[in-house]
A and B are shown apart, each in its own frame.
Chain A
Amino acid sequence: MPRGAEIVLACLRAEGVDLAFGYPGGAIMPLYDALEGSGIRHILTRHEQGAVFAAEGYARATGKVGVAIATSGPGATNLVTGIADAKMDSVPLVTITGQVRSALLGTDAFQETDVFGLTLSLTKWSRLVSSIQEIPGVIAEGFYWARSGRPGPVVIDITTDALKANMEFAGPVKFQPAPQPVDAHGGDKFPAAVIALLETAKRPVALVGAGVKLAGATCPLRELLDRLSIPTMATVHGLGAVPAETPYYLGMVGMHGTRAANLALDESDLLLVFGARLDDRVTGEPTRFAPHARIVHFEIDAAQLDRARTCDLPVIGDLAETIPAFLAALGRVSLPDWKGWKAVAEGPERAETDPRGLAQPTVRLLDELYRRLPEDSVVLADVGQHQMWAAQRYRASSPRGFITSGGLGAMGFALPAAIGVQLARPDTTVLSISGDGGFQMNIQELATVQRLGLPIKMVIIDNKYLGMVRQWQQLFYKRNYAETDLSDNPDFVAISQAYRIHAERLGEDRMRELPLGTEAGRLLDDFLASREPELLVFDCHPEANVYPMVPAGAALSEMVFEE
């Protein structure tokens, strides 16, 4: 008779899992004991946070459920940031944690934490399993909720005695949900309502978020937008959903969005939102968001409605169904001519300008890297100034091509997430961009990269500060750079070499040469073409800032620009 641990692994296989990330420990040891021959490849990271971010990277790159495994107590608590990250960015994730034996629950036993209670507000669904009989049903149900509707994280916490117990096992089960209440949406009448709004709009715009990609609705969306041909913008998670060279595409919107996108949204009188949750990084001051616009919100999760403002017309449903339905209804409907509005919104007066000041070399480095990347590459950004520069300059059209921790903004995300991405897409160039602060938060995962020989291309934008915080301190706290000084950073090249990973340093003066010098160009070519993991440390000016910027409490139209 199989043990609970073997049943867990068999059920994971039945859910299509062939890769899991984790770190062993006492309570979860029975599961690790059963790994061999299970058909599941386990990737050992060097910190549980590395495991859960790697599982996220895998899930974000593929759309499949990422799996992270950890032991009880500190192992489980080290997963919490990744679980929160998955919740905020709608990532399908299942974490399996060991728990102390059932008789000890609630006694503050060694390495006991109430991970079920801790993660209640961060999970779509979770379960504390204390008997082997529950295992098949719980795994089936957990995966169902991780994948369905708006994807998200699930925690399955299993006592060690349940993992060690034995029972007759007839095989994995299928989960059938009970009917859920259906929230109000337009049903099949919504297309007519949206068309009616379009027919009277003078300044319509479209905003695209991650939900389009999660629904697999990028193709019908592009068709719809081509049909409408209205000024269109994207959230950071929507980047790549609309090809950047499309004439009506204005770029990223929000706190560090483009001038054109922010102004167009601010001036619009009709806002079509596709799979974006309108969080405060996008809206600016919520009470002053899209002040003249009626809002139509295409969204699968009704809980995302009415954050910034009450929407005028919710369209709740799977975007893979609602977008094609709307496109079909548009048919040969004659829409107004918005030429005058488009000339203003898309006009050259609002076009992006390249940075001229301290940020120019860093932005140029990113442009030179992006120019050299194959079309199907994946770019990951950690959190901070480099993240915003990386997003602002991103021009590829790959829906899963730009990955970052958006909603939570968790530093230390990019390097471990890149591990998951590279394993998911072994033939793809994976470029991971971090700041010097964030890179150090999960620097130990260089060991994982080296052990697996993953040819990840890692870049550190090293400005020797906690850059984004320093920027805010400069602009809003009178240059009081409290606790953001990282000028005593270690030698990242030496550290990388200690992990047996080749590294180079590049000074920003090389990125001021016009045209780019031969040596610098060759360095970048070799860096990207290498079949080994590589690290490039770029010296960025300590006081380079990200512009445009919408200050806290300001409307999108009140951007601050580079002086």
Chain B
Amino acid sequence: MQVFGIRYRNTQGTLLRILNAVSRRGIELPYVQATPAEHSHTVTLLLEVSPKQMGQLRRDWQAIVDVTEVRVGGRVSLMAKPASNWTQAYPPVSAGGVEAARTASA
């Protein structure tokens, strides 16, 4: 079993694309944990994969728009505490970016 940590901007569908890269290969997803952290969320996956699949998955994830980092290895932490302030979706470009989102939530 291998642990993967993928950091991504939580835009519409990005998490689904990350998971789809696994499911389309017929690989089971026994463990998934997504954790918000400001506008950059992290999803941790535990997968049974071959070395070749590992390389392919890593590259597929990196090709997804709004995925910012892919890490292989690390620990699975259960009951992770989500950050409380940042639960909205990433604001669109036309809304002015991060500052507009902060203002909207104030």
Binds A, one of B30-38, B41-49, B60-68, B78-86: B60-68
In the complex, whether A145 has a CB less than 8 A from a CB of chain B is yes
B13 touches A303 (CB 8 A): no
In the complex, whether B106 has a CB less than 8 A from a CB of chain A is no
In the complex, whether B88 has a CB less than 8 A from a CB of chain A is no
A303 contact set on B, CB distance < 8 A? 56, 59-60, 62-63
A141 CA to B59 CA, complexed, in Å: 22
In the complex, whether A34 has a CB less than 8 A from a CB of chain B is no
CB distance from B24 to the nearest CB of A (A): 6
B95 touches A133 (CB 8 A): yes
A141 contact set on B, CB distance < 8 A? 92-93
In the complex, whether A137 has a CB less than 8 A from a CB of chain B is yes
B16 contact set on A, CB distance < 8 A? 117, 120
Question: When A120-B20, A138-B92, A173-B93 are in contact, do A302 and B13 touch as well, CB less than 8 Å?
Answer: no
In the complex, whether A301 has a CB less than 8 A from a CB of chain B is yes
In the complex, whether A40 has a CB less than 8 A from a CB of chain B is no
In the complex, whether B77 has a CB less than 8 A from a CB of chain A is no
In the complex, whether A306 has a CB less than 8 A from a CB of chain B is yes
In the complex, whether A533 has a CB less than 8 A from a CB of chain B is no
In the complex, whether A369 has a CB less than 8 A from a CB of chain B is no
A116 touches B13 (CB 8 A): yes
In the complex, whether A188 has a CB less than 8 A from a CB of chain B is no
A145 CA to B52 CA, complexed, in Å: 27
B95 contact set on A, CB distance < 8 A? 133-134, 137
A127 touches B59 (CB 8 A): no
B93 contact set on A, CB distance < 8 A? 137, 140-141, 173, 175-176
A303 CA to B63 CA, complexed, in Å: 7
B59 touches A302 (CB 8 A): yes
In the complex, whether A463 has a CB less than 8 A from a CB of chain B is no
In the complex, whether A124 has a CB less than 8 A from a CB of chain B is yes
A301 touches B63 (CB 8 A): yes
Chain A positions 526-556 with a Cβ under 8 Å from a chain B Cβ = none
Question: When A181-B68, A303-B60, A306-B56 are in contact, do A128 and B12 touch as well, CB less than 8 Å?
Answer: yes
In the complex, whether A121 has a CB less than 8 A from a CB of chain B is yes
In the complex, whether A49 has a CB less than 8 A from a CB of chain B is no
B65 touches A137 (CB 8 A): no
CB distance from A140 to the nearest CB of B (A): 7
Q: Which residue of A lies closest to B7 (CB)?
A: A181
Give A136-178 as 1s and 0s: 1 = Cβ < 8 Å from B's Cβ atoms: 1110110001000000000000000000000000000101101
What are the 10 closest A-B residue pairs judged by CB atoms, nearest first?
A: A137-B94, A137-B93, A303-B63, A303-B59, A137-B92, A302-B59, A136-B94, A125-B65, A121-B20, A134-B92
B interface residues with partner A (beta carbon < 8 Å): 9, 12-13, 16-17, 20, 24, 52, 55-56, 59-60, 62-63, 65-70, 92-95
Q: A121-B17, A302-B62, A303-B62 are in contact. List 12 more A-B contacts (CB 8 A).
A: A120-B13, A121-B24, A126-B12, A126-B13, A133-B95, A134-B94, A137-B92, A137-B95, A175-B93, A178-B68, A183-B59, A303-B60
5 A-B residue pairs with Cβ-Cβ distance under 8 Å, sorted by A, are A117-B16, A175-B93, A178-B66, A302-B62, A303-B60
